[in-house]
């Protein structure tokens, strides 16, 4: 009598090969879209810093915040639409480049004590090194870091809450400490999101997975930038 309660599945080598190829194709697509996201953000930043857009965003922070979160939300909602997924991802990350341009402009032109263009390059290089190192470690070790997701999310909300308080307190020491904690949190999110890409291929649309990685990288960069600026205020 056949045991329908405990079915045994047998996969041929050819079937396993096809599954592996499909997963590899998904991973390649995710990191291709991630590269597009980074390139779009750099383009947005450079355009804003060399035109009046950086000053426009600096003078209208509420509009900048609304544009940033609105474009990210729309890109997330469009991830399952093949015709809109990549364009909305590009637009969202381009807008994020515009959004961070005022801060980068201030650092590049020395409006924040002890900073220069070199500070930006150093933070970008270190961010890339951390991102690449954690990604490689996750790929090679094949460990599943998804279990960290809940703890990191709680930590992120606590971090945001204290940052809001510090917006009114204006403590450079607290700002520096929060940024160090932020580096740890977003490094953890890189591990979590990379694990999900490796272990749950096709459960998340590739543009959405790429957007998650991009936001991890962007926030890691901004936190490192604050750390390297020493939490210093303006001149």
- Asked if residues 67 and 95 have their Cβ atoms less than 8 Å apart, the reply is yes
Confidence band of 191 (pLDDT split at 50, 70, 90): very high
Residue 6 backbone class (left: φ over 0; alpha: ψ -120 to 50; beta: rest): beta
Other CB atoms closer than 10 Å to residue 28's CB: what's the count?
A: 11
Give dist(CA 98, CA 127) in Å, integer: 19
In this prediction, residue 20 carries a pLDDT of 64
Structure pTM? 0.87
Tens of pLDDT along 36-45? 999 999 999 9
What value does the CA radius of gyration of the chain take, rounded to a whole number of Å? 20
Of 134-138, 196-200, 207-211, 220-224, least confident by mean pLDDT is 196-200
DSSP one-letter code for 204: S
Mean pLDDT of the 46-59 span: 87
Q: Kindly write down the DSSP assignment for every residue of 72-126, as one continuous string.
A: HHHHHHTTT-TTTHHHHHHHHHHHHHHHHHHHHHHHHTT-BTT--HHHHHHHHHH
For the chain, domain boundaries: 13-112+120-228
Q: What is the average per-residue pLDDT within 92-108?
A: 93
Classify the C-alpha dihedral 206-74-130-126 as positive or negative: positive
Crossing angle of helices 117-141 and 85-108, rounded to 10°: 140
pLDDT single digits (tens) 71-85: 999 999 999 998 999
Which stretches of 4-43 are assigned E, i.e. beta strand?
A: none
CA–CA distance, 70 with 206 (Å, rounded to integer) = 20
């Amino acid at each position: 009598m056949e045991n329908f309660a405990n079915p045994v599945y047998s996969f041929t080598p050819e079937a396993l090969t096809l599954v592996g190829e499909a997963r590899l194709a998904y991973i390649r697509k995710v990191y291709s879209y991630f590269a597009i996201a980074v390139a779009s953000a750099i383009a947005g930043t450079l355009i804003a810093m060399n035109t009046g857009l950086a000053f426009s965003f600096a003078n209208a922070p509420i509009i900048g915040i609304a544009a940033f979160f609105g474009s990210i939300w729309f890109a997330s909602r469009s991830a399952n639409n093949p015709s809109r997924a990549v364009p909305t991802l590009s637009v969202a990350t381009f807008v994020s480049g515009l959004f961070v341009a005022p801060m980068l402009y201030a650092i590049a032109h020395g409006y924040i004590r002890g900073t220069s263009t070199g500070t930006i390059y150093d933070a970008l290089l270190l961010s890339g090194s951390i991102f690449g190192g954690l990604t490689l470690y996750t790929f090679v070790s094949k460990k599943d870091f998804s279990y960290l997701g809940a703890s990191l999310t709680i930590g992120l909300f606590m971090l945001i809450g204290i940052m809001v308080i510090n917006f009114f307190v204006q403590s450079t020491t607290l700002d520096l400490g929060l940024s160090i904690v932020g580096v740890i949190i977003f490094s953890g999110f890189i591990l979590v999101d990379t694990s999900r890409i490796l272990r749950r291929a096709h459960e998340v649309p590739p543009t959405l997975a790429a957007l998650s990685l991009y936001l991890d990288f962007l926030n890691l960069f901004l936190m490192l930038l604050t750390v390297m600026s020493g939490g210093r205020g303006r001149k």
